[in-house]
Chains A and B, each alone.
Chain A
Amino acid sequence: DAKTTQPNSMESNEEEPVHLPCNHSTISGTDYIHWYRQLPSQGPEYVIHGLTSNVNNRMASLAIAEDRKSSTLILHRATLRDAAVYYCILRGPIRGSTLGRLYFGRGTQLTVWP
């Protein structure tokens, strides 16, 4: 399983943008980049995913480096409810040998200050 590296923690003020980095230098050509977040005492929640192009959805944006060795999750305006652990994960092909298994690291603990 390909590894990702994330900072242990980050802080932000409410209503400011947040850029959460992730390094994945050993990513393969078929690996998708997934982001999840986990609130205390809850299961992780899907945030966004991408392969090569930048992606936007109602929750966040995902910026992927041209060489795909790093990516950044962007929360455009942080709220107190965005305080969570954010996981950057690489997912192999669903129907390939990896069966789409996701391996979670320790993620980044995001603290949002009012």
Chain B
Amino acid sequence: SQTIHQWPATLVQPVGSPLSLECTVEGTSNPNLYWYRQAAGRGLQLLFYSIGIGQISSEVPQNLSASRPQDRQFILSSKKLLLSDSGFYLCAWMGGWTGELFFGEGSRLTVL
């Protein structure tokens, strides 16, 4: 069966520090992968999506970037965090014919 894992689960970082969040999917190949962010009390904002290795599309201009170095690995990064980067970051992959999104456990980032 397919599984998706994110880490770290919780992160507290100072403003201006770098960020790396990792997401790994198991049990499927060549999935569409997505990064979402949810600020406190808000809905989910689509940040990036990827249809394959090295193929990244950005939805919202910001100081975040994403990379997909391997088929089932999706990484969210920042060189310098801002206070507004705080939030709940969710990685997801899309199931085949149903288009169902399967979400990871999430990474909660607090920027101080």
Q: How far is the CA of A46 from the CA of B59 in the complex (A)?
A: 22
Q: At the interface, yes or no: A77 with Cβ under 8 Å from chain B? A: no
Contact A41 B46 (CB under 8 A): no
| Chain B residues within 8 Å of chain A by Cβ, number | 26
Our pick among A32, A94, A99, A106 for the contact of B43 (Cβ within 8 Å) is A106
Minimum CB–CB distance for B14 against chain A, Å = 23
> With contacts defined as CB atoms under 8 Å apart, how many contacts are there between chain A and chain B in the complex?
56
Our pick among B59, B97, B101, B108 for the contact of A44 (Cβ within 8 Å) is B101
Q: How far is the CA of A24 from the CA of B46 in the complex (A)?
A: 19
Q: Please name the residue on chain A nearest to B4 by beta carbon.
A: A43
Minimum CB–CB distance for A45 against chain B, Å = 7
Q: At the interface, yes or no: A69 with Cβ under 8 Å from chain B? A: no
Contact B106 A49 (CB under 8 A): no
Q: At the interface, yes or no: B7 with Cβ under 8 Å from chain A? A: no
Contact with B along A91-114 (1 / 0, CB 8 A): 100100001111111110000000
Q: Please name the residue on chain B nearest to A102 by beta carbon.
A: B101
Known: A36-B101, A49-B100. Contact between A44 and B51, CB under 8 A? no
**Which B residues contact A (CB, under 8 angstroms)?**
32, 34, 36, 42-46, 49, 51, 59, 88, 90, 92, 94, 97-106, 108
